[in-house]
A = this chain, B = another copy of it.
Amino acid sequence: MNYQLILEEIEKEIQPELSKGKVADYIPALASVDGNQFAMTITLKDGTQYSVGNYLEQFSIQSISKVLAFSLAIDIYSKTLYKRVGVEPSGSPFNSLVQLEYENGIPRNPFINAGAIVVADALMSHFGGEYASLEKIMNFTREISANKDIKFDSLVAKSEMEHASRNLSLAYLMKSFGNLDNSVELVVKNYFKQCAITMNTQDLSRAMLYLAFKGKDPISNKEFLSEPQAKRVNALMLTCGHYDASGEFAFHVGLPAKSGVGGGIIAVVPNIMSIAVWSPRLNKYGNSHAGTLALEKFTTKTGLSIF
């Protein structure tokens, strides 16, 4: 298949959609991004990349970082963490307190905010503090993306912390149920730093190869996850990767994927490729409008699907 041609077709077809939706505006650092941008990169097993659009433009990966943090936590997960966060779709917006209260402070899955905060807490305890934990996440991200320059944007993290009421409410609720070991403020701060990692679609697409190839980076040959672990992270992305539009996404796109409010989405076609797409305007569910459509077009044009 001529992937470059397909990406260029998609880029062209997607133009009228770039003005639809709304850039995340709850913090100034995100609100100021030019909403009409679009980028898409795919990476094959041998590292070959095809890209279109603003693929060198860095953006805030936000909730995509939940996949990275959960990958790092998966050994802890199978031992103890599974008691503290589930693997079920939430059926509710990503920051809902209702479900969390009915279910006694146990978040539905690690890809909604509450669940990701519990994962951040577990990593802090496991690695010995907020700095050690953050360093692990940064190093892991640099390693899988094969880019030592990956950083987080401390301005974005700080700005998130100033608008953190909803996440603090979630975290204090879990604390009240005994499901948070460390200081609420420290955990949430660390969580925001992880969300503030900036990457472009080339970095992101490269980084996800380990999930496309059963846990092992096919270029460095390094095994980051075991085969069953990789399968589980992918399953989780499929069922829970897009908040309360996860079913819709699986129905229309049919690939394991995770979105972030920065407008990025990563997806994998197991054994074939990893994909990163970016466009800042979001649909009503908080997922990139043009990014979602681009992925749908890609699976339609290529016939690639897990089903």
Q: Which residues of A contact B (CB under 8 A)?
A: 86-92, 96-102, 108-109, 165-166, 168-173, 175-176, 184, 227-228, 230-232, 234-236, 238-240, 244-248, 250-252, 254, 256, 270, 300, 303, 305-307
Contacts and interface: CB of A to CB of B under 8 A. Distances in A.
Contacts of A230: 307
A235 B256 contact: no
Contact of A89 (B168, B173, B234, B239): B239
Chain A interface, DSSP helix/strand/loop, else mixed: helix
Contacts of A239: 89, 238-239, 246-247, 250-251
Contacts of A88: 89, 91, 244-248
A176 B96 CA distance: 12
Nearest to A89: B89
B231 A254 contact: yes
A232 B250 CA distance: 8
B251 A87 contact: yes
A134 B249 CA distance: 32
A250 B240 CA distance: 11
A169 B91 CA distance: 22
A168 B236 CA distance: 31
A175 to B, nearest CB: 4
Contacts of A244: 88
**Nearest 9 pairs between A and B by C-beta?**
A91-B91, A89-B89, A165-B176, A169-B172, A88-B247, A234-B307, A166-B176, A165-B175, A169-B173
Pick from A165, A168, A240 the residue with the most CB of B within 10 Å: A165
Contacts of A169: 97, 168-173, 175-176
Contacts of A300: 228
A87 B166 CA distance: 25
Contacts of A270: 305-307
A218 to B, nearest CB: 16
Contacts of A303: 227
A227 B299 CA distance: 12
A118 to B, nearest CB: 14
Nearest to A99: B91
Contacts of A172: 165-166, 168-169, 172
A89 to B, nearest CB: 4
B228 A251 contact: no
Contacts of A234: 254, 307
B165 A305 contact: no
Pick from A100, A254, A305 the residue with the most CB of B within 10 Å: A305
Contact of A306 (B89, B168, B173, B307): B307
Given A87-B248, A96-B101, 6 more contacts: A88-B245, A88-B246, A169-B171, A232-B251, A232-B252, A235-B251
Contact of A184 (B92, B165, B235): B165
Nearest to A164: B172
